[in-house]
Amino acid sequence: MTELRDRAQRLLDLHTAAPLLKVVNVWDAISARVVTEVPGVEALASASHSIAASYGYEDGENIPVDLMIEAVGRIVAATHLPVTADLEAGYGDPGETARKAIGVGVVGANLEDQMKPLPEAVKAVEAVVRAGEQAGVPFVLNARTDAFVRAGDRPHEEVLAEAIERGRVFLEAGAPVVFVPGKVSEADIEAFVDAWGSQRLTLIGAPGSVPLARMAELGVARVSFGPFSQSVALMALQDLTRDVVADGGLPADFRVLN
């Protein structure tokens, strides 16, 4: 339990103190090991979309929760670094799912609000916070609001205000950080940091995102890459296949990683 508590505290410290925590998401034991071996990597995050895809499931809590927990446990076993897991919306029971994740060594998690009524979303956040407290670890809940990714054609200022309010309530409920996926501008980041304080906002790195160095300057706590890291790996596999079909072979910079 002491080791688990130390890992959780380390992960919390990485979020709450500068510089920006940069996390490349993984989806199985070998991806965890390869990322862990890169100098400068300080923590790992699983990607629920990527794990589900590797088992043949569509994203969106279609994978059985116990299979997801087993996959995350294999990631934990493959690294000495703290691991935060993407637990989607909690698979119907956020508190119990968090307890299962802690049971396999996970020390933080994403939890989607899916724009459910705010009281319901807050109850989910409180359940996960309570699971960490009962386990005796400073569990790093990255409370996600889907205000931006589900914005549709609503006015931007309205969406921003709602994201700020939902994040504020999640922080008050005990989450140390709030995750806002989607297309976020520098002005949006400044608004979030102004409302919540620095080192409270986490973002996803996507094509066209604010550069990482600028995120750090603006007070963002963490950036992760969700399913995009798996897409990069699959692009390399598909590119190799194209080369082989065209009578080519392994790339000139090939190196053995497994």
In degrees, rounded to 5, the angle at the alpha carbon of residue 139 between the alpha carbons of residues 133 and 144 is 115
User: In 3-state terms, what secondary structure has residue 246?
Assistant: coil
pLDDT < 70 stretches in the chain: none
Residues forming a β-bridge with 141: 109
Rounded Cα gap, residues 99 and 91, in angstroms: 12
Domain ranges of the chain: 2-227
Q: Has this prediction a pTM greater than 0.85? A: yes
SS3 content of the chain, % helix, strand, coil (to 5): 50, 10, 40
pLDDT at residue 202, rounded to an integer: 98
With residue 224 as reference, give the H or E element that holds it: strand 222-224
Q: Per residue in 91-115, is it b (16+ CB within 10 Å) or e — as a string? A: beebbebbbbbbebbbbbbbbbbbe
Which is the CATH superfamily of the domain at 2-227?
Phosphoenolpyruvate-binding domains (3.20.20.60)
User: In 3-state terms, what secondary structure has residue 103?
Assistant: helix
pLDDT at residue 223, rounded to an integer: 98
pLDDT at residue 243, rounded to an integer: 96
What's the token pair of residue 200? 């409270």
Q: Per residue in 28-55, is it b (16+ CB within 10 Å) or e — as a string? A: bbebbbebbeeeeeebbbbbbbbbbbee
pLDDT at residue 143, rounded to an integer: 98
- Identify which of 177, 187, 188, 107 has the alpha carbon closest to the alpha carbon of residue 147: 188
pLDDT at residue 15, rounded to an integer: 98
